[in-house]
């Protein structure tokens, strides 16, 4: 990587390169491709932050809940739903777990009847 590319990037190019190398499908990584992935990632993060700021009640700061709301409402961010889920209280989570267990038990009973 050139020194100029390193200065133009906000995210550390070495970290992006390391993440890219962690994929078994990736062979050689050229400095230009690493730089492009880094800049694309920075653009994605900037867009995510802009969207969160639009919906935030505090226009000078975003919270986790702002990011989670954006991820839940914008369809093309569906892939982040498991990574940035909405915060819920413990008792609500336990209720959801009970509902899931009940559904699974019903499915198991139906499978046994077949």
pLDDT digit string, tens, across residues 58-92: 888 899 999 999 999 999 999 999 999 988 889 99
SS3 sequence of 48-69: HHHHHHHHCCCCCCCCHHHHHH
Cα angle, residue 99 at apex, residues 64 and 102 outer, rounded to 5°: 150
Kindly report each contact of residues 45-50 with a partner whose C-beta sits within 8 Å and lies 24 or more positions away, as own/partner: 48/77
The answer to whether the pTM exceeds 0.85 is no
Side-chain-side CA neighbours of 71 within 13 Å: the count stands at 18
Distance CA 63, CA 46 (A): 15
- For 16-65, what is each residue's pLDDT tens digit? 999 999 988 888 889 899 999 999 999 999 999 999 999 888 888 899 99
């Amino acid at each position: 990587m050139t020194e100029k590319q390193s200065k133009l990037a906000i995210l550390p190019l070495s970290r992006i390169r390391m993440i890219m190398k962690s994929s078994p499908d990736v062979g050689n990584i050229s400095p230009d491709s690493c730089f492009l992935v880094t800049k694309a990632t920075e653009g994605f993060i900037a867009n995510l932050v802009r969207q969160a700021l639009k919906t935030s009640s505090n226009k000078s700061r975003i919270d986790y809940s702002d990011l989670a709301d954006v991820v839940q409402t914008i369809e093309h961010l569906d892939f982040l739903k498991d990574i940035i889920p909405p915060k819920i209280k413990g008792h609500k989570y336990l209720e959801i777990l009970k509902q899931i267990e009940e559904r699974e038990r019903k499915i198991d009973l139906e499978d046994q009847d077949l």
